[in-house]
Every structure is written in structure tokens, then in C-alpha cells.
Amino acid sequence: MSDKMSFQADVSKMLDIVVNSLYSEKQIFLRELISNASDACDKLKYLALTNPGLVKDAGNMKIKITPDEKANTLTISDDGIGMNKEDLINHLGTIAKSGTADFVKNASENGSACDLIGQFGVGFYSAFMVADKVEIITRRAGEDQAWKWVSDGMEGFEISEAKRESNGTDIKLFLKKDEKQYTDTIYLRQIIRTYSDHIGYPIVLDLGKAGEETVNSASALWTRHKSEISKDQYKEFYHHISHNFDDPWMTLHFKAEGNIEYTGLLYIPSSAPYDLFQPDRKNGLKLYVNKVFISDKVEELIPNYLRFVKGVIDSSDLPLNISREMLQHSALIEKIKHGTVSRILKELKKRTKDYDDYMKFWKNFGIVLKEGIYEDFSNREEIAALSYFNSTKDEEKLTTLDEYISRAAEGQKAIYYITGDDVKILRNNPQLEAFKEKGIEVLLLNEPIDEFWPQVLPNYKGFAIKHVTQAENDMGWERKEARADEGSLKKLTDLMTEMFKNEVGKVTTTEKLTKSPVSLTVEDGQMSLHLERLMRNHQQQTAFASTRILELNPYHPLIIKLADMAADEAQRAKVEEIAKLLLDQAKIAEGEAVSDPSFFSEKMSEYILKSVA
Ligand code: ADP
Ligand code: MG
């Protein structure tokens, strides 16, 4: 008796793409299946730690590859954890991560699906690139019933009861007619050596009458000495562990000795994963205790702002029978984390020496690393030193805080920054006019996280970190140009304050503007306009809206004229109309929408016409 079941819709969609997209390196299916077999052995080993009944099964595990030239089949067997009926349905009929299929579809339309097969847990399905039919016989460790799963990789699969001597899984591929080369032992040996040498279990190739041959080195890569590992082996291990296909941007292999010993083999990818900002994303480190895989879900092993780091941490100082719950509050884990973080930061520091190379990393992960300035109290300054920012100094290259300081003007005591959505708009923000005039550099910060880290890093190497709105008194500004009459100016600001009382807290004058007549800002110490917009976009606003201030430039001919007009009751209507346009102008410079677009454009045409008439 057998159960016929359909693939979840997402699986069908994806299978279609995986099988039909022209994939140049089809042989990676073998790596995926061997990788799954190795995972299955890891899982059984872990289970055996707490379940003595399974210890016998967990000893001497291996992965066996059996080609059959006559039948044109290839079988990958392991004696790992195996699967029961639910496992088969849940793991080989659905896709665990939501959105995966859509992403694969998009990627394939952009021509990059091939590189992504592993990353989305579609590893197993890659078997259908070379096989018309896949038959699995499997038995879960500790259970008596074995199961058979068969599928042609089209609509669905069939499950029926089966027999298997012991726990483990055989995956038999009925190879397509033109994929006969996967029964050739010479070819198989070569593929396994290339892609799977680092697997920690023996991979045994069945040579038929000639017996069996162990093809890989079968020792966990990170336990070997650096000098014995080639660049390619490091890279293949990275592919195995990260499911990425790119070259790692950074490879960091170290052994920490001292009161706690552990080994780390860590990587930073050269491209950003699609789910870097998905809240359910798990971190990329696997924890081993003395080569036994424990968990890849130990949140505490690496801070969130380094969630792009992939790799392995192995420590023989942790108790083998440690439960995943205990790991969460372990002081040893805390120490390992601390040591690992400082090694990563040190290595990053070294890499900043080559700007172009470092930018490859920064454009992928800088925005995540910067979260660390906010999150990681003990490494705050170090992470800030590794961060790069846009600045008024240079339109092409980003700058560090240290470089900024090295260029600071005589007597300058602060690092100034402004925040907004778009660097181009920020560059022209009226608030920067006085800074430009005095040759003082301003950092142009345009990412949401930039609203937060300066709040926890008020100083850097003796320099205050200040938003430009907090700089009014720093400028030591002595201006000699004509200024609007004080009395008329007061009338104008009073009038405008009354007019705009629903939109801005007050209208004042400023010494900071040189070119623009007006500018919008907030009361010192309040949430910036950029942050306010961010919050509004996330529907979190209203309760703490900042008090906006409309600043007038008393040296600007337009303001001088308007102040004069404000003193004359007869011109009231005209003054009000121009005042409204000025507020709109300030909003536009800040990157905000005008309050009444039709009024604005009507008046705009009217004034343009006057100027050309
Ligand atoms: P991933 O390995 O990223 O989870 P795969 O598509 O390669 O995704 O495999 C899907 C799931 O199928 C695995 O997570 C595992 O639960 C199960 N599986 C695949 N191969 C085996 C195997 N040889 N033994 C036990 N379980 C397996
Ligand atoms: Mg897999």
C-alpha cells in the first residue's frame, strides 16, 4: 500500500527551475547529497549523546557511493539518523523557509539561480538535475519501520512501507540517459575529491569486483593544521558550510589557547545573502564539541551584528552532554563569543588597509556591522573605527572617523553629521551652508541605523559627535553683510509662527544659512526629521513628534524684503502667500513633500511667468 502525495506548490515551482535552468555544474548534486548524508551522521552522533541506546548505531559511520553502470543508477547511502514517514513528508515535500521559491524564481529570471541552489535548502532537489526518478529507502534511528519514497520530481511523491536492516538512508538516482558519466568511478572519485574532501566521515566508493575505496581524507578540516590546508580546501569547506557558491571574502582559522581552548574556522562571504534583514534568520555558526556537532542554533555564540559570519567553532572544554538550553546561559560560550568577536574585528582592521578590497565587504555588510556600535558596549569604539561614511569632503570615497579627525579644522572639537534619506539631497541641505563656508567637513548619514549609533557614541577620540542642528554656537560666526531690520524681522517671525502653528513649533532666525532664505530643523536634542520619517513609515509615530523649527536667514535679500513688507499692513496677503511658499521650499530641501502641491505649482508658474515676462 502506498500514499500518493503532491509537492507543496512552492516545491513544484522550484523543481521546475532547478531542473530546467541551464546549470553548468550539474555535478554539485553529489556534493549536496553527500552533505545531507554527513548532516544525518552528525545528527545521530548528537542524539546518541543523550540516548545511550543509539550509541552502537552512531559508531563508525560512513557514507557509501554505489554506481551501477548496467542499470544506470547511482546510490548514496549513509548510516545516519534516517527519516520516518513524517520526516519524509516534511523535509522532502515542502520548503522550510517561506519566500524561498519566489526568491529562486526571481534569481533565475536574473540568471543567477545556479549559484543559489544550496542556499535555500533546495539541496536535495538538485538530484533531479541528473535523475528522472529518485527512490529513497530510509529508517529512522530508534524506530523499526523503514520507508520508501519515490518521485519523478514532477508533481509529487509516493510513500510506502519498506525494509531496511538498520538505521540510515539510501538515495538511489535513476540517471537520465545522457548522464551516464555518474556511474564512472574515475569521474566520481574526482568529483568527490574536489567537492567533499573535507567531510568528516569516510566516503567509500564501491568499485564492484575491485572492492571499496575511501576517497576523502575524512578528518574535520578545522582540526588540521593551517599549513596542511590548501586554499581550495578552505573554499570547498566554506561552500559546504554556508551553502554559498562564491569565494569567501575572508577566511579566519584560529586556535585559542589559555583558560579555555577552542578552534574557529570562520568566513565572511563576498556577497550578501537574501535574508540578511529577515528577523527569523539564524546565525551562521555551527558549534562542535570535540568534533561532535552540537547545534547551529546557539544565538549566544556570535552577536547579531556579525550575523553574516559563517563557520565552525569547536571547543573541547564544553561538556559533551550540554543541552541546547544550557548553552544559552553558559559562561564558557560567553567567553568564546568574546574572543571570537575580537579576532574578527582585529582581522577586519587589518583589511581596512586596502580601501577597494574593504569596500567589497563594506557595501555588503557595513550596514549590519554598524549595528554593533549601538549594540556592543565593549567594542563600540573599535567598530566605529571600522566604519565608513559619506562626507562633504569627497563625493567618491567614503571616510572613517579617524580620517575625519585628521582633517579637522584648527580648534574644531566635534565630528559633525547630518541624517537623511538620500546622500545627494543631504549634500545640498541648507543646514550645511555655514559648514561649507568655513570648510568644516560634515558626515552625510543616510541609513536608519545612523539615527541610533550616535546616541550611544557621544564622543570619539576626544571629539564630540554632533548633529549639525546642535552646532549653532560652535560656529563663531561674525557676519558683515546687510541684515534685515530687527523690528520688522520680529513682526515677520511672529506672523509666520502664528500662520504655521499647526505645522511648526516656531519660526526663528539663524546665523547658519548663507545661500538659502529658509531651512527646516528641530529643537536641539529632539528626534531628527529623518528619524521622524522613518518612524512614520513604520507606523510608530505621532506620540513623540519633534518640534519643528523654521529658520529664516536674516541676511538673505528675500527675507530682508519680506521683513520690510511685513511691517506694512496693506501688503499682508502678499506676505502670507510668499511665507507659505518659503515653508514649502524648506520642506523640499529637507526631502519632504509640500503640504499643498496644487497651490505650490500654481504659484510657481505665476512667479516664473513674472520673471520671464
Ligand atoms: P538542507 O540540507 O539545507 O536542510 P536539503 O534539501 O538538502 O536541505 O535537505 C532537506 C532535508 O531533508 C534535510 O534538512 C534533512 O532533514 C532531510 N534529509 C535529506 N537527506 C537526508 C539523509 N540522507 N538523511 C536524513 N535526512 C535527510
Ligand atoms: Mg542539504
**Which band of pLDDT confidence, cut at 50, 70 and 90, is reported for residue 324?**
low
What residues pair up with 183 in beta bridges, in sequence order?
none
Higher confidence at residue 185 or residue 7? 185
Condensed to tens digits (0 to 9), the pLDDT of residues 489-518 reads 999 999 999 999 988 989 999 888 888 999
pLDDT at 58: 72
pLDDT at 54: 85
- What is the distance in A from the centroid of ligand 1 to the CA of 306? 27
Q: How is residue 465 written as a grid cell?
A: 559627535
Q: Which of 83-97, 436-450, 496-510, 592-606 has the lowest mean pLDDT?
A: 83-97
Q: Is the pLDDT of residue 112 over 60?
A: no
**Which band of pLDDT confidence, cut at 50, 70 and 90, is reported for residue 155?**
confident
How big is the chain by its Cα radius of gyration, in Å?
32
Q: Which ligand is nearest to the CA of 91?
A: 1
- What is the distance in A from the centroid of ligand 2 to the CA of 163? 25
| Cα gap 114→23, rounded to integer Å | 6
- What is the distance in A from the centroid of ligand 2 to the CA of 196? 13
**Mutational test site, ligand 1, from 46, 65, 81, 124, max ligand atoms within 8 Å of CB:** 124
> Residue 241: in which H helix or E strand, if any?
helix 231-242
**Which band of pLDDT confidence, cut at 50, 70 and 90, is reported for residue 526?**
confident
What are the backbone angles phi and psi of residue 314, rounded to the nearest 5°? -130, 125
Ligand 1 atom at minimum distance from 36 CA? 20
Q: Which ligand is nearest to the CA of 120?
A: 1
Condensed to tens digits (0 to 9), the pLDDT of residues 476-488 reads 667 778 899 999 9
| Cα gap 92→415, rounded to integer Å | 55
pLDDT at 22: 47
Residue of the CA atom closest to atom 4 of ligand 1: 121
Residue of the CA atom closest to atom 20 of ligand 1: 36
Q: Is the pLDDT of residue 410 over 90?
A: no
**Which band of pLDDT confidence, cut at 50, 70 and 90, is reported for residue 584?**
very high
Condensed to tens digits (0 to 9), the pLDDT of residues 539-577 reads 654 555 678 899 999 999 999 999 999 989 899 999 999
Higher confidence at residue 58 or residue 599? 599
pLDDT at 321: 66
Higher confidence at residue 199 or residue 390? 390
| Cα gap 541→221, rounded to integer Å | 51
SS3 call for 365 = helix
Q: How is residue 599 written as a grid cell?
A: 497651490
Condensed to tens digits (0 to 9), the pLDDT of residues 411-448 reads 899 999 999 989 999 999 999 998 998 899 999 999 98
Share of the chain above pLDDT 70, in %: 91
Strands 203-206 and 63-68 come out as parallel
> Residue 331: in which H helix or E strand, if any?
helix 331-351
- What is the distance in A from the centroid of ligand 2 to the CA of 139? 18
Residue of the CA atom closest to atom 15 of ligand 1: 91
Verdict on whether the full-model pTM lies above 0.85: no
Q: How is residue 326 written as a grid cell?
A: 544550557
**Mutational test site, ligand 1, from 33, 91, 137, max ligand atoms within 8 Å of CB:** 91
Contact 202, 216 (CB under 8 A): yes
Count of all residues that appear for the chain in the document: 613
Read off the pLDDT of each residue in 601-608 and give the average, rounded to a whole number. Answer: 92
Strands 131-139 and 168-175 come out as antiparallel
Residue of the CA atom closest to atom 8 of ligand 1: 121
pLDDT at 255: 96
Average pLDDT, the chain: 88
**Mutational test site, ligand 1, from 39, 86, 173, 243, max ligand atoms within 8 Å of CB:** 39
Q: Residues with Cβ within 6 A of ligand 1?
A: 32, 36-37, 39-40, 78, 80-83, 91-92, 121-124, 169
Q: Which of 44-58, 186-200, 340-354, 399-413 has the lowest mean pLDDT?
A: 44-58
Q: Which of 9-13, 250-254, 460-464, 513-517 has the lowest mean pLDDT?
A: 9-13
pLDDT at 523: 80
- What is the distance in A from the centroid of ligand 2 to the CA of 43? 13
**Which band of pLDDT confidence, cut at 50, 70 and 90, is reported for residue 101?**
low
Contact 361, 354 (CB under 8 A): no
Contact 18, 176 (CB under 8 A): no
Residue of the CA atom closest to atom 1 of ligand 1: 121
Residues 6+ apart with CB under 8 A from 368: 276, 305, 306, 307, 308
| Cα gap 540→523, rounded to integer Å | 20
| Cα gap 68→72, rounded to integer Å | 6
**Strands annotated E in 430-586:** 442-445, 459-460, 463-467, 506-509, 518-522, 548-552
Q: Which ligand is nearest to the CA of 38?
A: 1
Ligand 1 atom at minimum distance from 125 CA? 6
| Cα gap 249→351, rounded to integer Å | 10
Amino acid occupying residue 254: F
- What is the distance in A from the centroid of ligand 2 to the CA of 142? 23
